[in-house]
Amino acid sequence: ETGVTQTPRHLVMGMTNKKSLKCEQHLGHNAMYWYKQSAKKPLELMFVYSLEERVENNSVPSRFSPECPNSSHLFLHLHTLQPEDSALYLCASSPDRANEKLFFGSGTQLSVL
């Protein structure tokens, strides 16, 4: 186990649904990240939180809304998604934003119908 837990593992949703992805880290880290992983493409950084403050969003569409209530928990709220948003969504943490070593969760495999 990496110390980063993501739920649910799998999610199927319609384009009009609202759902949330959850991430929890037990490592005492101060930085958390959301990544999108699509087949045959590099990992795409979506959001960065450092000490619960969002520091970057990389021009992600507003249908993705992150929330970081404390340094151990991270959410990704989804609404009005498109089929091309189907992908594996990975949460990661690092000791702090300056530390490059990432600890990933197992991801949520999202399918948008």
Partner 1 sequence: GENVEQHPSTLSVQEGDSAVIKCTYSDSASNYFPWYKQELGKGPQLIIDIRSNVGEKKDQRIAVTLNKTAKHFSLHITETQPEDSAVYFCAASIAGGGADGLTFGKGTHLIIQP
- Tell me which residues touch partner 1 (CB under 8 A): 2, 4, 6, 31, 33, 40-43, 45, 48, 55-56, 90, 92, 94, 96-107
**Identity of residue 104:** F
- Closest approach of partner 1 to the CB of residue 33, in Å: 7
- Tokens representing residue 7 in the block: 């739920």
- Closest approach of partner 1 to the CB of residue 90, in Å: 5
Beta carbon nearer to partner 1, 57 or 80: 57
Beta carbon nearer to partner 1, 75 or 104: 104
List, in sequence order, every residue forming a beta bridge with 112; answer none if it has no partner: 13
- Tokens representing residue 111 in the block: 């399918």
Give me the sign of the Cα torsion angle 70, 16, 87, 98.
Answer: negative
Beta carbon nearer to partner 1, 5 or 80: 5
Q: What is the DSSP letter of 39?
A: T
